[in-house]
Amino acid sequence: MKLLLPEKTVQEKVGTLARQISKDYSGKEVLLVGVLKGAFIFMADLARRMTIPLKIDFVRLASYGTETQSSGKVKFTKDLDTTLRGKDVIVVEDIIDTGITLQQLSRHLKARRPRSLKVVALLDKPGRRKVNFQADYVGFRIEDHFVVGYGLDCAEEYRNLRGIYALK
Ligand code: IMP
Ligand code: MG
């Protein structure tokens, strides 16, 4: 395992994202929609650094399982508890890889008529895209490594690491 992004670097970036989002949505209340499980730590840190009123909810989508390759299919295994109609929604995701997850999720959520819908992703691997999808806010663009830590797992391990590591 190789350290890619130390804890301090990650924390500074989360602070920057939180300030930017709080500024862009100033005067509004937002609904943060976290994508379980990978986004749980990023979302907790981001939410605590934001300075505007917010509510939170989560979705859970069928994930990579224990492999390091995407299946290309996405399904809800846990839906939202709240309605999106008329709300300013920000989807919070750990990482964009092929883009399939967020493309499909955004499509599903937009159909529920939020007032606005944006996506923040801590990490982005643009070199791995299979569909054309771009997040509105991105923390770090990284090379094509499989990464763990700060919420991200490999076979459910390493989510609690404070930095982000590339698996060799
Ligand atoms: P996508 O649909 O291919 O963009 O996949 C996104 C999802 O795959 C993320 O929400 C992660 O759960 C998982 N994923 C993609 N790349 C990595 C990685 O490098 N480490 C851990 N999980 C990853
Ligand atoms: Mg995920």
N-to-C CA span, the chain: 6
| Contact 103 CB / ligand 1 (< 6 Å) | no
Asked whether residue 86 carries a pLDDT value surpassing 50, the answer given is: yes
Closest approach atom of ligand 1 to CA 39: 10
Strands 54-61 and 147-148: unpaired
Tell me what the pLDDT averaged over the chain comes to.
94
**Pair 132, 102: CB distance under 8 Å:** no
- Identify the band that residue 66 occupies on the pLDDT scale cut at 50, 70 and 90: very low
- Identify the band that residue 62 occupies on the pLDDT scale cut at 50, 70 and 90: confident
Q: What is the rounded average pLDDT of the residues 135-161? A: 98
Q: What is the rounded average pLDDT of the residues 87-114? A: 96
Tell me which of 33, 97, 152 to substitute to probe ligand 1's pocket, judged by most ligand atoms within 8 Å of the beta carbon. 97
- Identify the band that residue 63 occupies on the pLDDT scale cut at 50, 70 and 90: low
**Pair 130, 113: CB distance under 8 Å:** no
Least confident of 18-32, 53-67, 105-119, 126-140: 53-67
Strands across the sheet containing 164-166: 2-5, 164-166, 147-148
Q: What percent of the chain has pLDDT over 70?
A: 93
| Contact 146 CB / ligand 1 (< 6 Å) | yes
| Contact 64 CB / ligand 1 (< 6 Å) | yes
Q: Whose CA is nearest to atom 16 of ligand 1?
A: 97
- How far is the centre of ligand 1, averaged over its atoms, from the C-alpha of 46 (Å)? 19
| Contact 151 CB / ligand 1 (< 6 Å) | no
Q: What percent of the chain has pLDDT over 90?
A: 90
Contacts of 8 (CB under 8 A, 6+ apart): none
Catalytic residues: 97
pTM of the predicted model as reported, rounded to 2 decimal places = 0.94
Q: Whose CA is nearest to atom 22 of ligand 1?
A: 152
Tokens 């599903």: give the residue.
Answer: 108
Q: What is the rounded average pLDDT of the residues 93-106? A: 95
- How far is the centre of ligand 2, averaged over its atoms, from the C-alpha of 113 (Å)? 23
| Contact 18 CB / ligand 1 (< 6 Å) | no
Asked whether residue 103 carries a pLDDT value surpassing 70, the answer given is: yes
Q: What is the pLDDT of residues 31-56, one digit of tens each?
A: 999 999 999 999 999 999 999 999 99
